[in-house]
Structure 1
């Protein structure tokens, strides 16, 4: 049975400023009311999750309900960050949705093997991105029960 909509923070790891803006606009267009936080690379993602450096204040870096993860990022790529998240007992329950441009079967299988909860090909048009955001919101925040 479907539950009520829960407002969990969403953490988006995306290095491209244009993609971050488009994702932000898609969240607004979709009527999302979740707090959305952005990091620009895999190292910053891990600092956020582990409350290190500028993310050491939990009130400014709330534990995300889900993570949207790009793969091709500087400093630490998405694969390495995903592997680190899923091997950490305190982080591994956070759902990680990989959203990237790759459609390679090898990438998809490898990322699921690392523990990705979903794999989504980044759409090329805004309307499709809005539809994806609405679907993600409905699935992850209305249907699925997430751990506290």
Structure 2
């Protein structure tokens, strides 16, 4: 059986490399799809634009979403995901360097499942990613996709 995909929405190449390295170090072997801005993330999730041929019925097990993104920020991506019946239940973990209380409140207010601040120290980051992987890929039970009706 094919492992579920992890969608990493991250525009910073260093943070992307760090996240990929931390996932690999924790033996998380799921396919990682990386999108580098909010528009590309939504194209992937809704199978539009450059991802028009993708099966939109197959969604990631978890979305790791940065907030500070070009074109469309993480809050707007989250707002659009939660407004659409096809994606409203997808697990979204905000993975960001922001520790602003307003960002945390806004993230949860828009329906994020978790808010994780990127640790500066690599070892702490590896441990954070290990715990995220264990929880979201092993322990968490995702609801079946919703069908029918509009957004």
* TM-score, normalisation: structure 2: 0.89
Q: Indicate yes or no: 2:132 matched with 1:119.
A: no
Which structure ranks higher in relative contact order (CA pairs < 8 Å, sequence separation ≥ 6)?
Answer: 1
Query: 2-side partners of 1:57 and 1:123: how far apart?
Result: 36
* TM-score, normalisation: structure 1: 0.91
Give the gaps of 5 or more residues in structure 1.
1-5
Give the gaps of 5 or more residues in structure 2.
145-151
Q: Indicate yes or no: 2:46 matched with 1:28.
A: no
Residues 39-118 of structure 1: pairs in structure 2 closer than 5 A? 39-58=35-54, 62-118=58-114
Matched residue SS, 2:89: coil
- Give 4+ residue runs of structure 1 displaced > 6 Å after superposition: none
CA RMSD, 1 decimal: 1.7
Query: 1-side partners of 2:75 and 2:18: how far apart?
Result: 23
Answer yes or no: is the 8 Å Cα contact 1:41–1:73 preserved in 2.
yes
Number of the residue aligned with 2:131: 135
Q: How many residues align?
A: 143
Query: 2-side partners of 1:61 and 1:17: how far apart?
Result: 29
Q: Indicate yes or no: 2:14 matched with 1:18.
A: yes
Query: 2-side partners of 1:60 and 1:130: how far apart?
Result: 31
TM-aligned CA distance change 1:81 to 1:88, over 3 Å? same
